[in-house]
Chains A and B, each alone.
Chain A
Amino acid sequence: MNLGTTLLGIHFKNPIIAASGTFGFGDEYNELYDVSCLGGISSKGLTLHPKDGNEGIRVYETPSGMMNSVGLQNPGVEAFIQEGIAKMRRFDTVLIANMGGHSMEDYVTGAEMLSKADIDILELNISCPNVKSGGMAFGLKAEVAQEVVSAVRNVCSKPLMVKLSPNAENIVEMALACESAGADALSLVNTFQAMAIDVHQRKPVFNNVYAGLSGAAIRPIALRMVHSVCKNVHVPVVGMGGIYTAEDILSFIMAGATAVQIGTINFTNPLAGKELVTALEALCQREGIQDINEIRGII
């Protein structure tokens, strides 16, 4: 029974990756279980310069999910290179550095720095809905995304994975644009832009008014997007969006994903990463799947 898979020439011991923003740099969850059991960890979303993140409420329960508006609070690329990488390298798992940006220059400079650092994959975030004039602004229109991905590609010698927003005008066109601009892989979906109102206070819950929706509520839409992207691109796809169970993981892989990321479920069950590895193995055995790679894209 093999759960191992190869993505961008890198061996993953299983297809389960902790999603950016839900897992820090891995050290907090490592106090609960050995995070080396995961296929990979995608770092907290970095920006070139340190960021304090958003004011006000940052997390909020919603039906079958949650909304967040953390706003990319992070220590910046330089501090990550100095301290974060060493933290993550203690774990025997694939190290993915997730980076967003506010301007073309920020993206390029940050990517250049990370490209020289000891990371395995650069996950380019053009999809964060929670920071003004950045992140998702690059992830809505295919031609804008193409420009930033091309610019980053020129300076990035590491495998480059582009994380797409489900808020893109057309997810397949977006995927094709990123592929043609030189993305080695795509990951999708980031959170859906959403809204909540506190009727007692007659105010939006979040200071930024809109925030990102994640969790089981988005899973069927995320699965559809992963499926349609996989049908149209040639680069590998990492699927995510409300994955809670081993069955969800198999769904995304059957839809064409090479690997998956788990985010919100880490909050609902802090041991989810470890338990999903075991559950996926058991499910594959029950389903007579000898090798996880044999069922990829069968739908």
Chain B
Amino acid sequence: MEYFQTSVISNICISEDIFVMVVGRNGAPASAGQFFMLRATGSALTLLRPISIFKAEADTLHFMYRIIGKGTRELSTLRAGDTVSLLGALGTGYPIDKMSGKVALVGGGLGIPPLCETAKELTAKGVQVDVYLGYRDDLFAVEEFEPHSRDIFVSTEKGEEGYRGFVTDLLKPEGYDAVFTCGPEIMMRKVAAMCAATKVPCWCSMEHRMACGIGACLGCSVRTAEGMKRVCKDGPVFPSNIIFPNK
């Protein structure tokens, strides 16, 4: 974990309200499923914002985010050459090292970006990766998964591209050694339930408002089967039977 100032290399709108920001990595550690806290240097805002790692390259970090409030709106105004403060990488990511065989990645909406780095790291380890991506309407980042996956399944709620319906309709967990999911809680609960029914281990990545990002303030605690857990430190990735014990 490092706290450092770095330069924005690019910050591009890829869809109506979705941006990809690329910044200098400055040698910071980063692995799949972890996140950074970001804040424009000199910003008047009080809190840094947690954003997942979309891609960690040798010299750059890529963050894909949607404008949902003041913090992300301010990030979207940054331009190449602006300075941004980063704290990270933070949290417990996906258990890449424990994986072998075949793993399914199931993402919904802005839960999709962190699965890109995850697909890359799994593939590099020799794990066979299938990707299930659920969108409301417009697709994004699908091509980013192509080098790091065997099959890509796409669904949209309106059905203009890919399967019409929910991405969980496409998933058959029994064909996999593990399932990693990230996205809306309702989707992850469904994935967790399907995995529980077929006895396939499943990990879910949670999203939460945070203040410190390092486990000190308890602003992001969630109730789990093992008591209160900090999304920022104990998570954001949790085994599904811990985070959704009733499903």
Closest to B69 in A: A61
Which residues of B (41-70) have their CB < 8 Å from a CB of A? 44-48, 69-70
Residues of chain A contacted by B219 (CB below 8 angstroms): 58-59, 68, 70
| Residues 59-80 of chain A, each 1 if its beta carbon lies under 8 Å from chain B, else 0 | 1111011101010010000000
Given A28-B233, A53-B228, A270-B212, is A22 in contact with B3 using a C-beta cutoff of 8 Å? no
Indicate if the CB atoms of B212 and A28 lie closer than 8 Å: yes
Q: How far, in angstroms, from A55 to B3 measured CA to CA in the complex?
A: 30
Indicate if the CB atoms of B210 and A59 lie closer than 8 Å: yes
Residues of chain A contacted by B85 (CB below 8 angstroms): 269
What distance in Å separates the Cβ of B206 from its nearest Cβ neighbour in chain A? 14
- Contact partner, A215, options B46, B71, B221, Cβ 8 Å: B46
What distance in Å separates the Cβ of B88 from its nearest Cβ neighbour in chain A? 11
Which residues of B (206-222) have their CB < 8 Å from a CB of A? 209-221
Indicate if the CB atoms of A28 and B46 lie closer than 8 Å: no
Residues of chain A contacted by B44 (CB below 8 angstroms): 64
Residues of chain A contacted by B39 (CB below 8 angstroms): 268
Q: How far, in angstroms, from A23 to B223 measured CA to CA in the complex?
A: 21
Which residues of A (238-273) have their CB < 8 Å from a CB of B? 264, 266-271
Q: How far, in angstroms, from A129 to B116 measured CA to CA in the complex?
A: 42
A-B pairs with beta carbons under 8 A, tally: 91
Q: How far, in angstroms, from A65 to B215 measured CA to CA in the complex?
A: 20
Given A73-B218, A267-B217, is A66 in contact with B212 using a C-beta cutoff of 8 Å? no
Given A28-B233, A73-B228, A215-B46, is A61 in contact with B218 using a C-beta cutoff of 8 Å? no
- B87 interface residue, CB < 8 Å from A? yes
Closest to A25 in B: B216
Q: How far, in angstroms, from A68 to B70 measured CA to CA in the complex?
A: 17
What distance in Å separates the Cβ of A40 from its nearest Cβ neighbour in chain B? 16
Closest to A268 in B: B46
Which residues of A (276-299) have their CB < 8 Å from a CB of B? none
What distance in Å separates the Cβ of B75 from its nearest Cβ neighbour in chain A? 13
Most buried by A among B69, B214, B227: B214
Closest to B4 in A: A271
- Contact partner, A66, options B1, B47, B214, B233, Cβ 8 Å: B47
- A163 interface residue, CB < 8 Å from B? no
Residues of chain B contacted by A24 (CB below 8 angstroms): 215-218
Residues of chain B contacted by A267 (CB below 8 angstroms): 46-48, 211-212, 217
Q: How far, in angstroms, from A165 to B153 measured CA to CA in the complex?
A: 56
Indicate if the CB atoms of B221 and A73 lie closer than 8 Å: yes
Indicate if the CB atoms of A61 and B221 lie closer than 8 Å: no
| Residues 27-45 of chain B, each 1 if its beta carbon lies under 8 Å from chain A, else 0 | 0000000000001000011
Residues of chain B contacted by A270 (CB below 8 angstroms): 3, 87, 212-214
Indicate if the CB atoms of A53 and B1 lie closer than 8 Å: no
Q: How far, in angstroms, from A68 to B221 measured CA to CA in the complex?
A: 13
Q: How far, in angstroms, from A70 to B215 measured CA to CA in the complex?
A: 13
- A21 interface residue, CB < 8 Å from B? yes
Closest to A54 in B: B221
| Residues 171-182 of chain A, each 1 if its beta carbon lies under 8 Å from chain B, else 0 | 000000000000
Q: How far, in angstroms, from A216 to B3 measured CA to CA in the complex?
A: 22
Indicate if the CB atoms of B209 and A57 lie closer than 8 Å: yes
Chain B interfacial positions (CB closer than 8 Å to A): 1, 3, 39, 44-48, 69-71, 85, 87, 209-221, 223, 227-228, 233
Chain A interfacial positions (CB closer than 8 Å to B): 21-24, 28-29, 31-32, 44, 52-53, 55, 57-62, 64-66, 68, 70, 73, 215-216, 264, 266-271
Given contacts A22-B217, A31-B1, 12 further A-B contacts (CB under 8 A): A21-B217, A24-B216, A53-B218, A55-B223, A62-B46, A66-B46, A66-B47, A66-B211, A68-B211, A216-B46, A266-B212, A270-B214
